[in-house]
Amino acid sequence: MESIGVLMACPMNSYLEQQLENRFKLFRFWTVPDKSSFLASHKDSIQAVVGNAFAGADAMLIEALPKLEIVASFSVGLDKIDLAKCKEKGIRVTNTPDVLTEDVADLAIGLMLAVLRKLCESDRFVRSGKWKSGQYVLTTKFTGKRVGIIGLGRIGMAIAKRAEAFSCPISYYSRTEKPEIKYKYYPSVVELAANCDILVVACALTTETHHVINREVIDALGPKGVLINIGRGPHVDEPELVSALVEHRLGGAGLDVFEHEPEVPEELFGLDNVVLLPHVGSGTVETRQAMADLVIGNLEAHFLKKPLLTPVV
Catalytic residue among 17, 21, 63, 261: 261
Residues in Cβ contact with 198 at an 8 Å cutoff, skipping those fewer than 6 apart: 112, 145, 146, 147, 148, 168, 225, 226, 227, 228
Q: Is 42 a catalytic residue?
A: no
Beta bridge partners of 6: 26, 48
Q: Is 279 a catalytic residue?
A: yes
Q: Is 248 a catalytic residue?
A: no
Torsion over CA: 137, 140, 143, 149 (sign):
negative
Catalytic residue among 92, 162, 232, 235: 232
CA distance 229 to 209: 13
Q: What is the number of other CB atoms lying within 10 angstroms of the CB of residue 278?
A: 11
Q: What is the number of other CB atoms lying within 10 angstroms of the CB of residue 181?
A: 14
CA distance 278 to 264: 9
Residues involved in catalysis = 232, 261, 279
